[in-house]
Structure 1
């Protein structure tokens, strides 16, 4: 049986970031993921300059052979109303393809990797975690997304008392004819809020690639809302009339409404496995990256891996993202005053859509960049 200091289950942005931080500090790390990389990942796919800085990525270098769409504007509206377009007069975010972005981060990890390897068993034995009867370590990290097997080990798997956001999206490379017919612009993602404020849809062009999707808190009506939105966008000429392939689904937890424990004896959850997606936007990449950086700092400073020793990680998460809401809270975290008909009026306001929706809820420009320690 192979022994490691840390086993990380999940090789996405959170797992890769943590692995790189720990290996740089001399830890013996193993990364396990059920998928081969590069792999498709259901996600609209944008990252802010803060994420690039936290990951120490030079945008010009990353763009060599990969999709990196500078974003300077946003087009925002409520479904059934005209959209408002705001120019931010500079790059405020980047569009990426997750198949490229996640593979890039994983390629920077030097530690051993077991890819295309499902986790079939996790056993606690004499203070160590044993995975698949092959690898063991005193510390096990859950970085495998909403359905992470490590989260299930903590008794926090799907079906618990949590509000789950479900989303569907499609991403494809447009033909020249489709690109000519698509009025959506690469530097201007479109965000369309559902009239009941229980979710939003997006149209996001990244060079010749187009990403269309919708996420809501009520999964049983997700397809109806998505089909209506796609029909409207086709009718208005925002997207091509012929969309290839099927929309793919995924699920995640909004931070304020998740109740997953973040640590236990010898175990710690990061990223979507911990339910850290921003409550107002559902964006999960920046919280995933930052949770990995905070976890690395706590792990490297811990004298042991007991729940008490790892609890500092939970405190850091609360300091960074705020305290979670009560168990009775549900749905998207929108202020009580933002209800119909007030919302309809505000969504036609340049000031509100720019300062509140874009810069505060989606870009988090008021939050300073988190850098790796050391």
Structure 2
């Protein structure tokens, strides 16, 4: 039996950032993930300059041999009507491939790792958690996404009415012919809102790689919505006619509608395991990174790993992201005051699509980097 001070389950951006932030603290950590890295991780994959700054990533170094697509424009529209294109005048985001990005972050930490190891059992004994009857620690940090086994230990909180976003997407390297005929531009991601305002689709070109997907607040007719969108994009030349393979599905919780507790005795959740994706956009990389840094700060200073001691992390999340909304409130992406036909009109507005949809909902440009608030 190998004993550590804490075990991190999930080696994605949240887990690897948390592990790196704890280095030098004197606490012995182990990082476990069910997959080997680099691993396939389909994701629209845009990160803001703020994320890169928070992670202290050298853009020139990262871009050497990896996909780093500068984004200066966005095309925003509602399905069934023309899109509005806004030029922001400077780089406001970067397109990355998660298989590269996650592997890069993981490679920066010297924390001991067990990769390609599924968590088959978690048991409690003498104040410690035992993983697979092999590794032991008084603290488990859940960083394994929506279905993280550590999150299952804490549970989903009171009630069962959380808004779970279901998404399907595909990412592939285009052939020369596909790249030549595809009208989607690398520096201009496209976001298309469903007419019922319960989700949106996207087309994001990153060099020769193309990512296409659609997410909605539940699985109801998700495939049909996706098929209709893809056919429309093909007909208008935004997508190649011959998309390869099957779209992959995944799920996550929106912050305002999640009911998961963030801590319990010897348990702590970060990233998508905690249900921190931004409510209006579903974007989860920045919340994952920031939650990991906030959690590491609390764990570094904690006298013990009781729920009482770890609650400082929950308080820090509320201070950073605000109080969660009513658990009975429905709706995905857009606030309740935006309804048809107002939404149709607003999505034709350059000011609204730029200042509200892109800069506020998706990029959170006016939210200062975490370091500036600490």
TM over 0.5, shorter chain: yes
1:14-57: CA deviation from partner (whole Å, max 9, x where unpaired): 00000011123232110001011111112111100111011110
The 3 A distance-change label for structure 1 pair 372 and 120 is: farther
Other structure's SS at 1:220 match:
coil
CA RMSD, aligned part only? 1.4
| Residue segments in structure 2 that go unaligned for 5+ positions in a row | none
| TM-superposed deviation, 1:372 | 9.7
Structure 1 position 331, deviation (Å): 2.4
Equivalent residues of 1:257, 1:331 under 8 A apart: no
Kindly indicate whether residue 28 of structure 2 is the aligned counterpart of residue 34 of structure 1. no
CA offset at residue 373 of structure 1? 10
Alignment match, 1:110: 110
Instruction: Look up the SS of the partner of 1:219 in the other structure.
Output: coil
SS of residue matched to 2:243: coil
In the aligned structure 2, how far is the partner of 1:53 from the partner of 1:209? Answer: 25
- Once the two structures are superposed, what CA deviation does each residue of 1:179-219 show, in whole Å capped at 9, x if it has no partner? 01000000000000000000000000000000000000120
- 2:292 maps to 292
Partner of 2:85: 85
SS in 2 for 1:310: helix
Q: Distance in 2 between matches of 1:48 and 1:31?
A: 26
The alignment covers a number of residue pairs equal to: 373
TM-score by length of 2: 0.98
Instruction: Give the unaligned 5+ runs of structure 1.
Output: none
Report SS of the residue matched to 1:192: strand
2:236 is matched with: 236
Q: Offset at 1:225?
A: 0.3
SS in 2 for 1:75: strand
1:65-115 deviation line (CA, Å, top 9, x unaligned): 000000000000000000000000000000000000000011111111111
Which residue of structure 2 aligns with residue 344 of structure 1? 344
State the TM-score, normalizing by the size of structure 1: 0.98
Q: Report 1:1-374 matches (<5 A).
A: 1-156=1-156, 160-371=160-371
* Deviation at residue 160 of structure 1 after TM alignment: 3.8
The separation in 1 between residues aligned to 2:138 and 2:347, in whole angstroms, is 50
Provide closer, same or farther for how the CA distance between residues 299 and 148 of structure 1 changes in structure 2, counting only shifts above 3 A: same
The answer to whether the 8 Å contact 1:53/1:371 transfers is no
In 2, the alpha carbon distance for the partners of 1:163 and 1:150 equals: 20
